[in-house]
Chain A
């Protein structure tokens, strides 16, 4: 069984926009969601810039009951529920109000770590000898699968309901896991996405590794500079992205709006062998992942006209471009358009793959390639590999045919997914 799979719903809760309209407008203009964070300054962080979705209290009331809001201290759940419920609604789907679970609908919603602030609350109570005061919400807000469990309950799904975790690859991996499930006929509709908590306890470890830029605390919107000669490290972000994947059969039966088709892709690991390590990618595996994604999608590498890279704004961006170029056998003028949204949203860690996939797919709808920000000064190593014209510095009118999206993560893990503009045949 190898069924066609399409995308029928999108939702997003990102540092530069909550909801599809605000997010799209921010991407069109390159509006930044990166801000100076006073709490990081107070705590003596080297990098005090981060990306955090601006979620108003009133908005949270639309998604959570007063009971659910009590003791709710897991930002990842807030972002994930907003994005997930929005995507479901965007797909024209409703909550299950029957007495029976929706057997053919499931959820794969990933995260890296969930409910860190809630966990901190619990740690303090436990250390004070007050474990009895934890209440009933501690476990459900801190278990990794808290986010898929929340959404599963809200929507009444009866198919697989799970949380995947593969560091910064999580969101992209989830799309391919959902694709597989539908393509194999095991589900009709899968809500997939990923979320990442905000705050010092998530971002601190990266600051300690000294991989975040420290020179932009007074100039936050310039801090994240993918593909730039002056790139100095990634800016941590947070939020959630969500996509509804559906069999073409089911989408047509429902008369749903189709954003794009998922042609498949590839997930692999570099084994932390050779050039690969816990924190660095093995180029052999990255190239293989991209090449296999092309093959699995049943296309030729020349069919790809837009790439959304992982491109975090570290010195590794040049290596990533080299890997794309070698894997696709395309260089200079022949290279596809390429962009990174991390210049304006930062690196949303586990949420990166889903937020950036939502953005990538919006390019089909808007018939544009969203601009790259903060790379007026393209890195000379990158200019040697591909033409500067492949890196739009202004949002460009373009009807994308095939978009390749990749994410790479700690643990030397890779995922590459291929999206295609939807045509009936």
Chain B
């Protein structure tokens, strides 16, 4: 899977969790899920589950803790896909 393709797929997942005052165009690679995109911590749990389904991978608790930004998520997805 190309990096751009993965990024788009991730953006599609994040989109639905954005509060009203954040637009999809605000999502950048450096965006912090909670601080920049205002996603609440409860919904981060759901993003993890959606990522698991979309990429057919499994994220462990420590992966979830590391997943603070969009870049973090991309890196974790890469690692998991590589391990598969």
Interface residues of A, Cβ cutoff 8 Å to B: 66-67, 70-71, 133, 135-137
Interface residues of B, Cβ cutoff 8 Å to A: 16-17, 42-43, 45-46, 49
Complexed CA–CA distance, A213 and B33 (Å): 55
Question: What residues of chain B lie closer than 8 Å to A137, measured between beta carbons?
Answer: 46
Tell me if A136 and B16 are in contact (CB < 8 A).
no
Complexed CA–CA distance, A137 and B16 (Å): 15
Tell me if A70 and B16 are in contact (CB < 8 A).
yes
Tell me if B49 and A133 are in contact (CB < 8 A).
yes
Complexed CA–CA distance, A66 and B15 (Å): 10
Question: What residues of chain B lie closer than 8 Å to A136, measured between beta carbons?
Answer: 42-43, 45-46
Tell me if A135 and B16 are in contact (CB < 8 A).
no
Given A133-B49, A135-B49, residue A67 in contact with residue B42 (CB < 8 A): no
Complexed CA–CA distance, A133 and B45 (Å): 9
Please name the residue on chain A nearest to B45 by beta carbon.
A136
Please name the residue on chain A nearest to B49 by beta carbon.
A135
Interface centre among A66, A135, A137 (most CB of B within 10 A): A135
Complexed CA–CA distance, A374 and B43 (Å): 50
Complexed CA–CA distance, A71 and B17 (Å): 13
Given contacts A71-B46, A135-B45, 14 further A-B contacts (CB under 8 A): A66-B16, A67-B16, A67-B17, A67-B43, A70-B16, A70-B46, A133-B49, A135-B46, A135-B49, A136-B42, A136-B43, A136-B45, A136-B46, A137-B46
* 15 pairs from A and B in contact (CB 8 Å cutoff): A66-B16, A67-B16, A67-B17, A67-B43, A70-B16, A70-B46, A71-B46, A133-B49, A135-B45, A135-B46, A136-B42, A136-B43, A136-B45, A136-B46, A137-B46
Please name the residue on chain A nearest to B18 by beta carbon.
A67
Question: What residues of chain A lie closer than 8 Å to B45, measured between beta carbons?
Answer: 135-136
